[in-house]
A = this chain, B = another copy of it.
């Protein structure tokens, strides 16, 4: 069902354990016969003045050209005069929605076995405006910016996602009882979009109540859409329900069909280079990338192989309580293909 002309995709292996888990993805994809040519870009050791960050202009151009990419963890180097790598990518590539499916993995036990939800986070504005200042000594303020354009865009993405993925409900998460203007505008936009999707149930949930409900009964939720910081918080909370960021994939959606799938865990410098890292989050992010490319057959095949390997329990990395190396775990997945 897939084209045989190879697709070119950008790969940011990233720092720390990044190169090892990226190696795992390449191995699994090759074994599954995925028709992808990787264009690899590394984080630079020098600030590129055109991006004001350690990401080179060329690496951003690569994603813009290929419209699809996969990204490992990037540790923002400490120091002044440059921007966070993750934020640079989001802003420069206009990656307006961060999508994180979160579901209980069969065979990997947590306190929850009934999680199956999607968080969709506005990824460009809100509390991440970067606008802050000192009013007088000892009094500082930050600006949270909400725009109609960005809110409609992410709401539209969420409802379209729900509709095309057989989901029944979209919950908009907010604190409009306190931030009536900003979160109020966000909700207004969600309501406008909801009107166009009468087949999808729409509800609004205050963020504090949402967090309480999520830990009590996550099965209550289906698709959640929310402003930037709430998305940051709730997507990590949800990842925690099913085992943490080492197991949960994500994909950033930009304008003009750009998609940058991303493992959102850290670069784990303590275990880097030791063949101990768990590549699951990056592999599952790769699967999201394949689905975006409509390579559904290979996506399903690889997804099943990952899930079955974890469920079987024979090969697991140390973070999941096992003693497998990255390469052994990867090999086990390939054997399941």
A residues with a Cβ closer than 8 A to B are: 84, 110-112, 127-128, 132-135, 137-149, 175, 177-182, 184-185, 207-209, 211-216, 229, 232-237, 239-241, 243-245
Contacts and interface: CB of A to CB of B under 8 A. Distances in A.
28 contacts: A111-B112, A111-B215, A127-B144, A134-B181, A135-B145, A138-B148, A138-B149, A139-B145, A140-B181, A140-B182, A141-B181, A142-B143, A142-B146, A142-B181, A143-B144, A175-B232, A178-B229, A208-B233, A211-B211, A211-B233, A212-B236, A212-B237, A213-B240, A214-B237, A215-B237, A215-B240, A216-B244, A237-B237
Contacts of A144: 127, 141-144
A139 B143 contact: no
In the complex this chain forms, how many copies of it are found?
Answer: 2
A138 B147 contact: yes
A209 B236 contact: yes
A184 B138 CA distance: 11
Contact of A208 (B148, B182, B236): B236
Nearest to A208: B236
A141 B148 contact: no
Q: Per DSSP, are chain A's interface residues mostly helix, strand or loop, or mixed? A: mixed
A208 B128 CA distance: 14
A152 to B, nearest CB: 9
A207 B234 CA distance: 10
A234 B214 CA distance: 12
Contact of A212 (B140, B145, B240): B240
Contact of A148 (B127, B139, B177): B139
Contacts of A132: 179-182
A139 B147 contact: yes
A331 to B, nearest CB: 29
A259 B128 CA distance: 35
Given A111-B111, A142-B182, A216-B243, 15 more contacts: A127-B178, A139-B147, A139-B148, A141-B143, A141-B145, A142-B146, A142-B179, A175-B229, A178-B229, A208-B235, A208-B236, A208-B237, A211-B211, A211-B240, A214-B240
Kindly list the 7 A-B residue pairs having the minimum CB-CB distance in the complex, ordered from nearest. A138-B148, A212-B240, A132-B181, A215-B240, A208-B236, A211-B237, A111-B111
Nearest to A234: B211
B146 A140 contact: yes
Q: Give the interface centre of A137, A207, A233 by most chain B CB atoms within 10 Å.
A: A233
Contacts of A185: 138, 140
Q: Give the interface centre of A112, A142, A145 by most chain B CB atoms within 10 Å.
A: A142
A232 to B, nearest CB: 5
A237 B210 CA distance: 8
A12 B141 CA distance: 34
Contacts of A84: 177
Contacts of A241: 215
Contacts of A139: 145-148
Contacts of A211: 211, 233-234, 236-237, 240
